[in-house]
Amino acid sequence: MIDLTKWTWTRQPASCSVSDGRIEIVTRPHTDLWQRTYYHFRNDNAPVLQMETDEKFFSFTVKTAFESVRRFDQCGVALYLDSENWLKASVEYENGQYQHLGSVVTNHGYSDWATTRIDASVRTMWYRLSRREDDFRIECSRDGVQFSQMRICHLWEAAGTVRFGVYACSPEESSFRALFTDMELSQCRWPAHDGQQPDDDGPIG
């Protein structure tokens, strides 16, 4: 069982409830996590609730349910080391037709963003974050059983102790309720690579 009493906030949300394996967050307006790339602005004020570990191989699974109503409203899984080194995965609301299911990885103060469109009717999503030393895999699922890979990434500053958990934010003038349940910390469910071996062409010439 995950002991939520040992989790800590980076920042407090508008309101929250944490008990019995259940986390509820109500977001504040104008909160976000983003660094530099493309938009050239930096936002680092979203609430993130996390646990800490030095375990180099693990998987963390969580179910999210959300009542997002405004563009960019988002909630999901996060691994936040500091303002310039973190990752997150979420469903980000866009409009009444579609949302963005995606992830952001930030290394040394520069963020990327990888997304795919999903229908606006989606109101729940499962995530699984797996660690293999300083490499990470993010997966998603609609039913908590069949997971699909969203991305594999590297965090340059994640060689030792890391902090990970959940987040929710509202970058525009909005506030919504996000619910996190069915959390599980387990042995790493990301198998070691057993495919093609590195090339060895021998000496040149």
Q: What is the mean pLDDT of each run of 10 residues along the chain (205 residues)?
A: 93 94 97 90 95 97 97 98 98 97 98 97 98 98 98 97 98 97 97 75 48
pLDDT digits (tens, 9 = 90+) for 58-97: 999 999 999 999 999 999 999 999 999 999 999 999 999 9
HSE-up of residue 86 (Cα within 13 Å, Cβ side) = 25
Rounded distance between C-alpha atoms, residue 91 and residue 100, angstroms: 6
Closest CA to 153 of 167, 132, 168: 132
pLDDT of residue 201: 53
Domain coordinates in residue numbering, the chain:
4-186
pLDDT at position 204: 47
Determine the topology of domain 4-186 in CATH.
Jelly Rolls (2.60.120)
